[in-house]
Structure 1
Amino acid sequence: MGRGVCVAAMMGAGLLPASPMLAASLSWSDTPAERARLMMSVQELEITLLTHPSATLALEDWCATHHMAARPVVVAQKVALPQPDPVPARVRADLGVSAAQPVRHRQVRLVCGPYVLSVADNWYVPALLTPQMNATLEGTDTSFGHVVAPLHFTRERLEFTRLWSPWPGPVVGQGGTMIVAPAEIVRQRAVLRDGQGRPFSEVVETYTDQTLAFTPQGQR
């Protein structure tokens, strides 16, 4: 069974309306060995995410380790968002900003080679970034982690959730004797703090089944 591509809906941890993300249907033979191997891959992904301060760097490390692209560089593809785009009250509370203080929202697909590995929603306080950083975020597809790297930021994780487990559990979808992964497998929410400890960004990152495309069955 090959890899199909369709348009699915993603809701960032209940913080915003559903928005489109690219989803791939990957499948593997439903055997104990395959489920165990997939479980190890999901656990490895979680460890990679938990041990990197930047999602961009984590995914580039993941791509390089699993040879998913000739040049393992993560590119951010901006998604057009509907206007107006109100900032959720929880985000303002997490960032410690008033209702009147500007907060911008940016949604991107993080892509390495042919794979959409993650969809990230990012709310950030432009007053805490440099003019050049703001211009780059507004005018280019450069990933947020690369843009704000000079801030020497740290990440405070607020949530980390495994959305799918290949072992144990029922087969997802209508694959018969196949394991069919859903589009979303891991999600995390975090606040980024600059070198002075000020929260300047909140991110909700949803990692897709395409992170597992390096596995032999997923590549078929």
Structure 2
Amino acid sequence: MAALVAASSPAPAETSQSPYVQRLRQLAQLQTLNAELLSRDSATAVLQALCDRHDPEAPRVRARRIETPDSPQAAAGARRELGAAANEPIRLRRVELMCGDVVLSKADNWYLPGRLTTEMNTALNTTETPFGVVVAPLRFQRRTLSSRLLFNPLPAGWEARGELAFDTPATPPPQVLQHRALLQTPDGRPFSLLVETYTDAVLVP
């Protein structure tokens, strides 16, 4: 966990890197995380692996609930994307996915409780277990709808500018990457619409 905590305050070793190298490291980390999310069905598993790489004794990733007001318009949009009937119940679970005290991502999860088991719904309502862990028995598949970098440490055409063109480090914003995805059963039936926004804590000096 120490390495992840250090992401919000540069470590002494980072000061020896040129701004160009620092920017390359940030871009490489973002692209690696993005590729892992695109190739895996569980975003929680990707974040857990990130925690474990930097601390073999890292705690399990947990989902801290955030209370959110009802939004009929947003619910209607999610219902359409999930192909749910007008009378089918739909719920929003908004969480921060955390490794210890570090927030790695924030997720809005519109899901259809009627397509889950009673045990799964109870766990989602009463625990901090991440959604992907709870619904793992469904052997779900992830279908990414969009992937967007919110932080680009190297501008377009950086390859031709050379190292000396970058005289200052890049400071990442609080949010660096966003994914929209559907979770579906192996037969292609969706049951969850996710909007995941990853924080600058995923960038490790």
Work out whether 1:196 is the aligned partner of 2:187.
yes
Q: Give the structure-1-normalised TM-score.
A: 0.76
- List runs of 5+ in structure 1 lacking aligned partners: 1-23, 170-175, 216-220
The match for 1:206 among 174, 186, 197 is 197
The match for 2:137 among 150, 174, 195 is 150
Deviation at 1:207, TM superposition (A): 0.5
State the one-letter code of the partner of 1:61. A
After superposing on structure 2, the runs of 4+ consecutive aligned residues of structure 1 that deviate more than 6 Å are none
User: Percent same amino acid among aligned pairs?
Assistant: 42
**Aligned equivalents of 1:201, 1:110: Cα separation in 2:** 17
Work out whether 1:184 is the aligned partner of 2:171.
no
Query: Which digits, 9 at most, give the CA deviation of each residue in 1:129-172, with x for residues without a partner?
Result: 00010011011111000000000000111111111111137xxx
**What's the C-alpha RMSD, in Å, of the aligned pairs?**
2.2
Deviation at 1:188, TM superposition (A): 0.5
* Bigger CA radius of gyration: 2
- 5 Å-filtered alignment, 1:111-126, equals 111-126=98-113
Give the number of the structure whose residues are more often strand, by fraction: 1
**Aligned equivalents of 1:205, 1:60: Cα separation in 2:** 15
Deviation at 1:114, TM superposition (A): 2.9
State the one-letter code of the partner of 1:54. S
The match for 1:41 among 19, 23, 29 is 29
Work out whether 1:166 is the aligned partner of 2:149.
no
Q: Which residue of 1 aligns with 2:159?
A: none
**Aligned equivalents of 2:110, 2:198: Cα separation in 1:** 18
Work out whether 1:134 is the aligned partner of 2:150.
no
Q: Which residue of 1 aligns with 2:90?
A: 103
Q: Which residue of 2 aligns with 1:14?
A: none
**Aligned equivalents of 1:115, 1:50: Cα separation in 2:** 23
- 1:100 is paired with a residue whose SS is coil
State the one-letter code of the partner of 1:124. Y
Work out whether 1:53 is the aligned partner of 2:41.
yes
Work out whether 1:85 is the aligned partner of 2:71.
yes
State the one-letter code of the partner of 1:140. T
Deviation at 1:66, TM superposition (A): 3.1
Q: Which has the higher contact order (CA 8 A, sep 6+)?
A: 2
**Aligned equivalents of 2:186, 2:145: Cα separation in 1:** 19
The answer to whether the 8 Å contact 2:75/2:90 transfers is no
For these two proteins, the number of residue pairs brought into alignment is 184
Q: Which residue of 1 aligns with 2:164?
A: none
- List runs of 5+ in structure 2 lacking aligned partners: 1-6, 157-166
